[in-house]
Structures are given as C-alpha cells and as structure tokens.
Amino acid sequence: MRNTKLAAPIKILAVLAHPDDEAFGMGGTLAHYAKQGAQVTLICATLGEAGEVDPALLLNGQTIAGLREQELRCSADALGLKEVILLGYRDSGMQGSPDNAHPNALAAQALEEVVQKIAVRMRALQPDIVLTFDPYGGYGHPDHIRVHEAAKLAFQQLRDELPADTQRPFSRLYYHVMPLGFLRAAIFMMRLKGQDPRKAGANGDIDLVAISSNRYATHARVNYKDSADAQARAFACHASQGGARRAKGLAALVERLFMPRVDHFIQAYPTPEPGARRQRDLLWGL
C-alpha cells in the first residue's frame, strides 16, 4: 500500500450516478488517493430524487434533492474531494418503477447526449484515471448502468483524440466491482436468517443472486485502511440513506469479514495482458 505523498499531483475522476455512490461504493479508494495528494473530482449524474427519505429530515420545505445534495457535499468534504460536478439529471429509480418515466430521468435520456455531457467535463478536467461502475452497475440500477455506458464511451472518445504516444491524460479506465466472496457471504447470511437474497435492500428490490451471477476478472485491489475513518465520516453524512447503519449490524459484519478495507477494480483500459499480476495500486507506473 502506498503511503507517501505523490511527487506530482495526479488527477482522478469518478463518474457516478447518485449522492451516496461516492461513499458507499469506492469511497475508501477516493479518500486514499486524495490523502496522498491526488486531485480527485466527482461527476454525479443525479441528486437521488427517487430515494426514500424520512419526512422528518426534510426541514423548512427542503426537497429530497436539496437534502441529498447537502449530504453529498458533506461526504465529498469528508473524503477530501477537490470538486463535485452535477449533471442535472433526475434519479430514474429501480427498474420498473414509475420514476423511470420521468422526462428528465437519466435512464430515459439518449445515450449519446449523456456521453457528450460527460465528455465536456472530462475534456476540461483532463484526468489521468477515470473510475466508474462495472457493466452491471454494481446492483443493476438503471442509472448506474447508464453512467457506466456513458463514462466508458466518453473516455474512449477523448482517448481517441490524443496522439498515439500520449501517456497522460486518460491513461487508465477502471470499473469498481463487488468481490464475489462478499456477495456469496451476504447471500449465505441472509438465507441463514430466513431472508430471501433475491429481495435484499430496504425495499427488497436488490437481487444479490443475480449480482453474484456476474463473473468479472479483477485486475487491481486498493487497500484503503489508511482512509477508513474518512469513509466512515462520509457514510455518516448520508443520514437519509441509512449511512450510520453501515457501521453496524449484519451488513457491517459481512463487509468487515469479506471486504476488509479493500476495493476491487476491473482495468478496462489499457486492456491487461493475459496472466498479468493483480495490481495493488491504481497509479502504478504513473
């Protein structure tokens, strides 16, 4: 694990869908590199309007979008992010929900439009490394999948604009992925408690069995033990989405046992050589 400050600032861009994705997903990694001195920027496509929020948290007429943006900025500060860029789309909700039909829902937009919106921001930032969801969007959320598709195509478009011998920017593209061992353990624990792993999550709309059926080769693992406290503070910022509970209970136990302060990534660009050893640092060679 790299613990020293970077000799020269490296720019990392995370392209995600909702407030809390930056904390609950790859937050440890983002904080780890920000702590080293990397300039870490987040593009967030929506404000999570379709998320369930306790009405008691909405004070003085505040909207769900307003509250969740406030939580997002609190989390970004906790993780040490340099900037948060909002794309202005609306949360589409899970597959089949009424929110899918909202005219500004992210998943309802033409893919090319979303690609170009992200590409404009990427071109201005010139990141060395881009991070986003895996092809299944982590747990199958339509917005996660759309962000994955759009971020991948925007990266490819801008990479193709560069001279062939360019090493930086747009050096690498990674997809964050949940480790299979963690998913299997979560499924086992749910069945042990008499719960259906096809109906996980607060609303029973997350299918852990379907998620675990995806088989991804992971090419990099980032140990973020040095920044676990920053991720915990980011969790706490997302009170409306149960951030405090992430540190307690069954989910926390399974996470500590099977995902001990380590994030897993697919290296999408450049394509790893067959048999290449798994990297322990996303910045190797930069």
Q: Which domains does the chain have, with CATH numbers?
A: 11-179+217-248+263-269 (3.40.50.10320)
Half-sphere exposure at residue 245, Cβ-oriented, CA atoms within 13 angstroms: 9
Q: Residue 189 pLDDT more than 80?
A: no
Cα 106 from Cα 100, distance rounded (Å): 8
Q: Which residues sit opposite 233 in a β-bridge?
A: none
Pull the structure tokens for residue 201: 């999550």
**What is the band of 194 on the pLDDT scale with cuts at 50, 70, 90?**
confident
Structure confidence at residue 260 (pLDDT): 74
Residue 166 CB neighbours (<10 A): 11
Cβ 234 vs Cβ 228: under 8 Å? no
Higher-pLDDT residue of 160, 182: 160
**Over the stretch 236-250, which tens digit does the pLDDT of each residue have?**
999 998 876 665 555
**What is the band of 1 on the pLDDT scale with cuts at 50, 70, 90?**
very low
**What is the band of 47 on the pLDDT scale with cuts at 50, 70, 90?**
very high
Higher-pLDDT residue of 77, 276: 77
Closest by CA to 124, choosing from 43, 242, 239, 217, is: 43
Percent of the chain, pLDDT > 70?
91
Distance from the first to the final alpha carbon of the chain: 15
Q: Residue 262 pLDDT more than 50?
A: yes
Higher-pLDDT residue of 60, 16: 16
Stretch (H or E) spanning 229: helix 228-237
Higher-pLDDT residue of 153, 188: 153
* Strand arrangement, sheet containing 220-223: 83-89, 39-46, 11-16, 129-133, 172-177, 262-269, 220-223
Structure confidence at residue 119 (pLDDT): 98
Cβ 52 vs Cβ 22: under 8 Å? no
Cα 177 from Cα 114, distance rounded (Å): 22
Report the amino acid identity of residue 73.
R
Higher-pLDDT residue of 210, 168: 168
Cβ 135 vs Cβ 170: under 8 Å? no
Structure confidence at residue 56 (pLDDT): 87
Q: Residue 208 pLDDT more than 80?
A: no
Q: What is the arithmetic mean of pLDDT over 98-102?
A: 91
Write down how long the chain is. Answer: 286
Cα 216 from Cα 116, distance rounded (Å): 28
Q: Residue 173 pLDDT more than 80?
A: yes
**What is the band of 193 on the pLDDT scale with cuts at 50, 70, 90?**
confident
What are residue 76's phi and psi, to 5 degrees?
A: -60, -40
Closest by CA to 170, choosing from 179, 180, 158, is: 158
Higher-pLDDT residue of 82, 167: 82
Residues ≥6 apart with Cβ < 8 Å to 54:
240
Of the given ranges (5-9, 140-144, 261-265), which has the lowest mean pLDDT?
Answer: 5-9
Cα 286 from Cα 270, distance rounded (Å): 13
Q: What is the arithmetic mean of pLDDT over 214-230?
A: 91
Structure confidence at residue 4 (pLDDT): 61
